[in-house]
Structure formats: C-alpha cells, structure tokens
Amino acid sequence: MIFDLNNLKPAEKQYYLQHVVAPRPICFASTIDKDGNVNLSPFSFFNMFSSNPPILIFSPARRVRDNTTKHTLQNVLEVPEVVINIVTYDMVQQVSLSSCEYPENVNEFIKAGFTEEPATLIKPPMVKESKVKMECKIVEVKPLGTEGGAGNLIICEVLRLHIDDSLLDENKKLDQRKINHVARLGGDWYCKVDESNLFHVPKPNTELGIGIDSLPESIRNSKILSGNNLGQLANVSTFPFIDPAFDDLHLKNIIQYFSVNPEEMEKELHWYAKKLLDEGKVTTAWQVLLSGI
C-alpha cells in the first residue's frame, strides 16, 4: 500500500507517521512563564541535531483536535529557557500523567509527583528524579505551519549537562546499560532500553569496510546468510586470507563428510558461518567461508 500524505486527514497523517518514525526519545521539558509559573510536559518529537554547538530540538505541535497551542510553546516564547530531563523507565507512568491537559498555571511537577530541583543557570527547575538533565537556552522557535498538527521547532542549546553519578564509571564514562531510556512509538506504545535488548554493531571509524559488492558471488547470493550476516562480513577493511593455522573440528567434519557433494558442503559451511556470525565471530566465520571458496 502506498499512502499519499496529501490525501490523508491530519489525524491519519499523525497516526501513520508516529507508528513508523519510532522509537522516539522523550524530552521532559520544564519551562516557566514570565510570571514564574512552572510547566512540565513530555515531547517525543525530540532529538539531538548537533554536538558542537550542542543543539537539541523538540516540537510542541498544534493540537490536531482543535488547533490550539501548548503551554510549553507559550512559555518558551515568554522565557527562552528550558530544562530537558531525560525519561527513564522508572518514571514513565508519572511522565504520562504529566501530559494531561491541565489548565494553564497548573504545575505538573505537583500533579505528577515530581520534585523541583533548582537549575544552576536558568529559571525553570529540573526534575530531581531524572538521572540526566540539560539546562538549555532557546536559540530559535520555528513554526512549521498554522493548521492542527503543525509542529513548532524549539531549537535549544545545551548549556549544562547533569548526569547522575550512578550512570558513570570511574573514568566518567557512561554505561549505556544503566540509563534505561524509554521511547515513544505509535499510539500508546512505548519501549524500554535495557541490557536484554541492547547490542553492539562494530563500526571501524578510521577504515572502510570492503563492501557487499566485494564479497565473492557465492557468499553474496547465499540463500542462508542474511543481509545482516553479509553486512558483518563486508565490514572487514581488507579481504581476509586463509589462515593456515586455523584449526576447527566442526569445519574439518563438514569438509570430510561432504567432500563428495560440493553443493551440500557449501550449504553446511554457510549454516556454520551464519551461526558464528550470529555469535559475533566474524574472523572465524570468514575462515569457514574461505575454506569453501
């Protein structure tokens, strides 16, 4: 099915885009109006777009329902400052509660049971319970339209970053497994990031991968190796050589058993290489595949 966005109703555009552009991190924005009233609301139209200068953007959109704007937008137009608190799994229900459309001047810190902690450079308070908070000044507010659903880009520069000591090791490095971010998807769906679903994709920064086009045809057209497997194999920076010292009992068995049937042998080698690749053993997988070429 192909959807032409011009033919969709505003609510449908929102529905499809929010489901497919996901997961989105959540900016928990603390702002203040010119009279000092504090506001706290979550926004998943949010990300980082530059590290130097350190720029984050989030977007309080015009409501699809009635085209009204959000207090957060009004506040940053009055006082161009925001604390962006990072949302983690242990706070997600309270964060959701804070997104209720309480009237202006209602402080969602109180409604959602969070504690105000004074920021050090700007007026809006930080969320004490959040393990990561960023004090930001607003660089620009860019409306993207005038109809319901139109976003308002709030472009912020991070002035100061607060990270809870529990997330840092002795070298002041972050442990990604400890943050436990949550992210928003479509409708009521969220996901959480924890040790069980995190994984590494090694990417050499200084050297180029040989590329899938450089893989031998028998590997490239394998019915057994997946796209991910080919990506792993093609990420080596030089085409591997057969290592005469490579000694592997399972490989020996495959070669011995299937030597009379080269087609079956190739299949077995690919299955074995696939298993190794799925375990992250790229060098070993290459040796297995080279023995069959």
Which residue number, 59 or 88, has a Cβ lying nearer to ligand FMN?
Answer: 59
Which residue number, 44 or 284, has a Cβ lying nearer to ligand FMN?
Answer: 44
Instruction: Tell me if 28 contacts ligand FMN by CB under 6 A.
Output: no
Instruction: Tell me if 44 contacts ligand FMN by CB under 6 A.
Output: yes
Is residue 112 a contact partner of residue 94, using CB atoms and an 8 Å limit? yes
CB of 155 to ligand FMN, least distance (A): 15
CB of 154 to ligand FMN, least distance (A): 10
CB of 58 to ligand FMN, least distance (A): 6
Which residue number, 61 or 179, has a Cβ lying nearer to ligand FMN?
Answer: 61
Contacts 24+ apart (CB under 8 A), 254-261: 255/291
Instruction: Tell me if 60 contacts ligand FMN by CB under 6 A.
Output: yes
Rounded-to-integer distance, Cα 145 and Cα 152, Å: 8
Instruction: Tell me if 232 contacts ligand FMN by CB under 6 A.
Output: no
Instruction: Tell me if 70 contacts ligand FMN by CB under 6 A.
Output: yes
- Give me the residues paired with residue 154 across strands: 58, 141
Q: Beta strand pairing status for 126-127 and 182-184? A: unpaired
Q: Which of 131, 184, 270, 274 binds ligand FMN (CB under 6 A)?
A: 184
Compute how many other C-beta atoms are within 10 angstroms of the C-beta atom of residue 252: 11
CB of 81 to ligand FMN, least distance (A): 15
Instruction: Tell me if 39 contacts ligand FMN by CB under 6 A.
Output: yes
Instruction: Tell me if 270 contacts ligand FMN by CB under 6 A.
Output: no
CB of 256 to ligand FMN, least distance (A): 58
Beta strands in 9-80 (DSSP E): 24-25, 27-32, 38-43, 46-51, 54-58
Q: At what angle do helices 262-278 and 282-290 cross, to 10 degrees?
A: 170
For the purposes of burial, counting CB atoms within 10 Å of the CB of 249, is it exposed (0-12), middle (13-18) or buried (19 or more)? exposed
Instruction: Tell me if 18 contacts ligand FMN by CB under 6 A.
Output: no
Instruction: Tell me if 88 contacts ligand FMN by CB under 6 A.
Output: no
Dihedral, CA of residue 40, residue 46, residue 51 and residue 53, to nearest 10: -60
Compute how many other C-beta atoms are within 10 angstroms of the C-beta atom of residue 54: 15
Instruction: Tell me if 72 contacts ligand FMN by CB under 6 A.
Output: yes
Which residue number, 54 or 186, has a Cβ lying nearer to ligand FMN?
Answer: 186
Q: Beta strand pairing status for 27-32 and 81-86? A: antiparallel
Specify the DSSP class assigned to residue 217.
H
Instruction: Tell me if 71 contacts ligand FMN by CB under 6 A.
Output: yes
Is residue 127 a contact partner of residue 102, using CB atoms and an 8 Å limit? no
Q: Single out the segment in contact with ligand FMN by CB under 6 A; choices: 39-47, 119-127, 129-137, 284-292.
A: 39-47
Which residue number, 64 or 236, has a Cβ lying nearer to ligand FMN?
Answer: 64
Contact residues toward ligand FMN (CB under 6 A) are 26, 39, 41-45, 59-61, 70-72, 96, 99, 101, 184
